[in-house]
Amino acid sequence: MKNKARWAAWLLVLGLVLGGCGAAETKMQSDAVESAFGAEEDLIVVGVSQVGSESVWRTVNTESLQNVFTKDNGYFLLFKNARQKQENQIKAVRSFISQRVDYIVLSPLTETGWDTVFEEAKEAGIPVILIDRKANVKDESLYTAWVGSNFYWEGVQAGRILEKKLAAQGRENDTIRIVTLCGTAGGTATLGRSQGFEEVAEGHDNWIMLENVDGDFTTTKGKEQMRSLLRKYKDIDVVVSQNDDMTFGALASIEDAGLKAGERGDIMLISFDATKNGLELVKEGKIMADVECNPHLGEYVDEIIKALERGDSVRKERYVRENVYTKDNVEEALADR
């Protein structure tokens, strides 16, 4: 399967000449051009279709992939940023197929809509490896493996930590008004975190789920949506924000409204990702809990590909380890970041 680097690079050069390219992809593509003229290597060609650059988590995830798919590690990387559009991911997969890459690595923006293009990859004999979010396809043989987070578990942890904090405050029987800033509609992270938290909430008649709004995992939308929610509801007790970036925006709106976030403040914030900046806010007491989402998936994909190259079988699904951080254990996490 290997050693298509030269062929892929020549096609890429042709594509650049005919079509130009975006700034974010320029470096990797110029590496590709260099490789087209200089490479004699027996490299494994990997086409990566990334969701976008919507969050700090995503940036770290992209770096983790770029760090493993290097020439030194035996790879030739073709990278495409879909800018949060499924149509761009589908186009990217088709371009990887026409460039005859060895593997396609994809983080699907949403769960549905992948059957046709995955069938095309299968017909071309190219294994599709999913990372981070899942694809809901009729035939599971259309992808080889998936590695990522247990988003449902993350949502349950958010619910459990809220139960624990309310009990510690003696508020377990109080009416608790909750709003949720959701991530991208239809994506596994959003679906799993919503389901997990809602299942815990269903066990508490005094938890009032006021509204779920779409914040698309971005700071700008998190800020806008929080501003509107604060105008609409006078007495929000808890904000469940499905990633740190939306939390940063929500926190800005909370403070602009003259309110205080924190366990002893007006609103308790629960966040996801546990990025460095998120954890700093846990330490400051502004975020009550941050549920980790591990972005370091590159090493796992590397393992999967190396196993496939050896002809070994690989696990269909692999969940990565994660944790929940509050002010009680945040220092140890920050020491690692």
96 or 217: whose CB is closer to ligand AHR? Answer: 217
Minimum distance from CB of 189 to ligand AHR (Å)? 4
Closest separation in Å from C-beta 219 to ligand AHR: 11
> Considering only residues 29, 35, 49, 55, which one is a binding residue for ligand AHR as defined by CB under 6 A?
55
Which residue, 84 or 99, has its beta carbon nearer to ligand AHR? Answer: 84
Smallest gap from residue 243 Cβ to ligand AHR (A): 4
Q: Pattern of binders to ligand AHR over 58-77, x per CB under 6 A?
A: x-------------------
CB-based contact 139:116 (threshold 8 Å): no
- Residue 216 binds ligand AHR (CB under 6 A): no
Stretch that binds ligand AHR, among 36-44, 50-58, 65-73, 162-170 (CB under 6 A): 50-58
Question: Does 132 sit near ligand AHR (CB under 6 A)?
Answer: yes
Q: Are the CB atoms for 235 and 178 separated by under 8 Å?
A: no
Q: Is residue 189 near ligand AHR by the rule CB under 6 A?
A: yes
Q: Which of 243, 253, 271, 294 binds ligand AHR (CB under 6 A)?
A: 243
Does residue 158 bind ligand AHR (CB under 6 A)?
Answer: no
Work out which of 69, 76, 103, 272 binds ligand AHR, going by CB under 6 A: 272
133 is an interface residue for ligand AHR by CB under 6 A: yes
Binding-site member from 176, 293, 301, 333 for ligand AHR (CB under 6 A): 293
> Nearest distance from residue 296's CB to ligand AHR, in Å?
13
Residues in binding contact with ligand AHR, number by CB under 6 A: 12
Can you tell me which of 46, 57, 76, 130 binds ligand AHR, judged by CB under 6 A?
Answer: 57
